[in-house]
């Protein structure tokens, strides 16, 4: 059996942030597994400049941030194994991994940090299985990773930041017309993202839903949208047909908690964090003493918070293994916690902050 | 404060623009180029404060506070236009003699226009409001793939013109 002092599952911002701090604070062997071909998680397809502050490399484009984190981790001696799927978490701190050469390996760890992220939610409506209906993340992967524009006349369902940003990137990639609909009475994402696409001529229709995708030839050719009343019920007679060749769904994310469940982490259901999430303490430690979590699987937020949660878990793991002095660890963790508190302040962060406090409160139950 | 048009349509209404927290006065706009910061939500973001070499933009202790502009320190250099991840800062200049002034905005679409080209200028809702001549296109290492386009528009449209039709 192979062994590492610290194993991290997921090489997105949370996993890489954790790897960098764990290595920086003295962990001898840090191994990161990721099922994708390249590391960076969702960062690799984020072309826009990031929000946040200097500590989060604000103003830097997402994919560049991913590259910087990878370089930093490698320079600190972190081993990153891509194309490697962790499929099992077993008793006595063991993992099962399918590696890139098609082999099954068993890995032992002293501490495990799970940073598996989240997956897109789907939305069922008549015709939703037609080719041309896809998640916004899938569309983004096709455009920004594989240089394929999957549609030119697009209906974007959902106006959270993902929907708004992918709409912007569709326009940059050459889409002719995008319409955004939102079931809620107001736009979900940041006003600045909405303003970018509004001045590019994209209508954003609140209190609207999709009721049907029409495709007599076996692919999407039309979308039927309908206005919703104050109880979110479709208003008869308000159906409108749009000529589209793609329907993008950006209707939220759900934490990827399967491995945390296998690790026996206690869970809580918190809609404000995306659904079932592992409860954890101020150090990102779960109900299982050797298992930590960071990033979207511990509550769907954004890259900056994922990065800082990862850093926090990395420092905490190094501390638990006896590497940095308690004073040094406390100072670093305090600085990170302050940044996280700041990122969760304001009207866009209040609910997430409350959700996180709820999760941490349950640890003592 | 409520920003209903921004929250439901995605763009600030003219009435909301008049309520912008750091809006420079018309008098200041007529003295020379100055930044107009169209950032009204408490989102966690502060690069505008560090990209401004003249310390004209400040946010305060809380990263979700709104940026404030000291218009007397602002030179209208435009660093904040490409430094703002939200692409929410514009430069307006009402100082030139005559009917026309200049407005600068970020434009992350290809192909780029060239200096002297006649383009269709749009407002915040994406509606064409006039034609305008491109004065210059700034695309440098510092702007990091966020070109800034400067276009001549009638002075009475300086606070409406916020982009051009994609070419």
Task: Give yes or no for residue A56 having a pLDDT over 80.
Answer: no
Q: Residue A57 — pLDDT band, cuts 50, 70, 90?
A: confident
Q: Give domain A2-119+253-362's CATH number out of 3.50.50.60, 3.40.50.300, 3.10.180.10, 3.40.80.10.
A: 3.50.50.60
Average pLDDT value for chain A = 96
The Cα–Cα gap between A17 and A23 comes to 10
Give the domain ranges of chain A.
Answer: 2-119+253-362, 122-249
The Cα–Cα gap between B118 and A160 comes to 35
In this complex, the residue of B7, B46, B165 whose CB is nearest that of residue A186 is B7
Q: Test B44 with A347 for CB contact under 8 angstroms.
A: no
Q: Closest Cα to residue A221, out of A176, A155, A167, A169?
A: A155
Give the domain ranges of chain B.
Answer: 4-164
The DSSP H or E segment spanning B133 is strand B128-138
Task: Give yes or no for residue A151 having a pLDDT over 80.
Answer: yes
Give tens-digit pLDDT for A316-336: 999 999 998 889 999 999 999
Mean pLDDT of A74-83: 98
Q: Test B9 with A204 for CB contact under 8 angstroms.
A: yes
Q: Residue A74 — pLDDT band, cuts 50, 70, 90?
A: very high
CATH number assigned to the domain covering A122-249: 3.50.50.60
Residue B21: per-residue pLDDT: 87
The Cα–Cα gap between A113 and A78 comes to 14
Residues of B in contact with A349 (CB under 8 A): 44, 64
C-alpha dist (Å) from residue A294 to A15, A277, A312: 7, 11, 8
43-102 of A, contacting B, C-beta below 8 A:
48-54, 58-59, 61
Q: Residue A54 — pLDDT band, cuts 50, 70, 90?
A: confident
Mean pLDDT of A234-250: 98
Residue B62: per-residue pLDDT: 83
Task: Give yes or no for residue A82 having a pLDDT over 90.
Answer: yes
Residue B64: per-residue pLDDT: 86
The Cα–Cα gap between A132 and A139 comes to 10
Residue A135: per-residue pLDDT: 97
* CB of A304 less than 8 A from some CB of B: yes
- For B142, phi then psi, to 5°, come to -65, -35
Task: Give yes or no for residue A363 having a pLDDT over 80.
Answer: yes
Residue A323: per-residue pLDDT: 95
- The tokens describing A93, both together, are 């701190």
Task: Give yes or no for residue A114 having a pLDDT over 80.
Answer: yes
Interface test with A, best of B85, B109, B126 (most A CBs within 10 A): B85
Give tens-digit pLDDT for A246-286: 999 999 999 999 999 999 999 999 999 999 999 999 999 99
Q: Closest Cα to residue A194, out of B118, B115, B43?
A: B43
Peptide bond just before A275 cis, omega within 30 deg: no
Residue B167: per-residue pLDDT: 93
Topology match between the domains A2-119+253-362 and A122-249: yes
Q: Which residues of chain B have pLDDT under 70?
A: 1
Give tens-digit pLDDT for B51-63: 999 999 999 888 8
């Amino acid at each position: 059996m192979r062994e590492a002092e610290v194993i991290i599952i997921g090489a997105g911002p949370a996993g890489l942030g954790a790897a960098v701090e764990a290595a920086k604070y003295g962990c001898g062997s840090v191994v990161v597994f990721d099922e994708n071909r390249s590391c960076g998680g969702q960062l690799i397809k984020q072309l826009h400049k990031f929000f946040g502050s200097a500590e989060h490399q604000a103003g830097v484009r997402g994919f560049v941030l991913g590259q910087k984190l990878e370089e930093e981790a490698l320079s600190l001696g972190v081993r990153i194994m891509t194309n490697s799927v962790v499929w099992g978490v077993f008793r006595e701190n063991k993992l099962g991994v399918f590696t890139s050469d098609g082999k099954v390996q068993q890995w032992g760890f002293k501490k495990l940090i799970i940073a598996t992220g989240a997956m897109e939610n789907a939305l069922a409506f008549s015709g939703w299985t037609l080719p041309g209906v896809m998640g916004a993340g899938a569309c983004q992967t096709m455009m920004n990773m594989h240089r394929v524009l999957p549609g030119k006349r697009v209906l974007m369902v959902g106006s959270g930041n993902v929907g708004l940003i992918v709409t912007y990137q569709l326009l940059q990639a050459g889409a002719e017309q995008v319409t955004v609909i939102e079931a809620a009475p107001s736009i979900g994402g940041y006003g600045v993202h909405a303003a970018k696409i509004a001045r590019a001529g994209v209508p954003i229709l609140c209190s609207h839903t999709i009721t049907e995708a029409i495709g007599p030839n076996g692919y999407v050719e039309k979308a039927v949208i309908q206005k919703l009343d104050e109880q979110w019920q479709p208003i008869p007679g308000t159906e409108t047909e749009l000529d589209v060749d793609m329907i993008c769904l950006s209707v939220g994310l759900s934490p990827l908690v399967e491995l945390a469940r296998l690790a026996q982490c206690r869970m809580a259901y918190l809609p404000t964090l995306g659904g079932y999430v592992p409860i954890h303490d101020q150090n990102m430690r779960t109900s299982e003493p050797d298992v930590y979590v960071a990033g979207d699987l511990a509550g769907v937020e954004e890259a900056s918070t994922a990065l800082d949660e990862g850093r926090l878990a990395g420092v905490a793991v190094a501390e638990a293994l006896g590497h940095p002095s308690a004073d040094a660890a406390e100072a670093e963790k305090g600085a990170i916690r302050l940044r996280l508190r700041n990122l969760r302040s304001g009207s866009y962060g209040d609910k997430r902050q409350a959700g996180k406090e709820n999760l941490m409160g349950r640890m003592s139950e | 404060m409520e920003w209903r048009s921004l929250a439901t349509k995605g763009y600030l209404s003219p009435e909301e623009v008049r309520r912008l927290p750091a809006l420079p006065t018309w008098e200041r706009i007529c003295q020379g180029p100055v930044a107009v910061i169209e950032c009204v939500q408490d989102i966690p973001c502060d690069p505008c404060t560090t990209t401004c070499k003249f310390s004209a933009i400040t946010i305060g202790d809380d990263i979700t506070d709104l940026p404030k502009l000291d218009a007397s320190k602002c030179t209208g250099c435009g660093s904040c236009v490409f430094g703002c991840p939200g692409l929410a800062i514009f430069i307006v200049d009402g100082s030139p003699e005559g009917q026309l002034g200049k407005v600068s905005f970020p434009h992350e679409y290809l192909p780029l226009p060239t200096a002297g080209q006649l383009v269709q200028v749009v407002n915040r809702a994406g509606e064409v409001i006039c034609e305008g001549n491109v004065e210059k296109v700034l695309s440098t290492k510092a702007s990091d793939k966020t070109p800034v386009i400067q276009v001549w528009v009638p002075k009475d449209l300086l606070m409406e013109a916020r982009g051009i039709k994609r070419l």
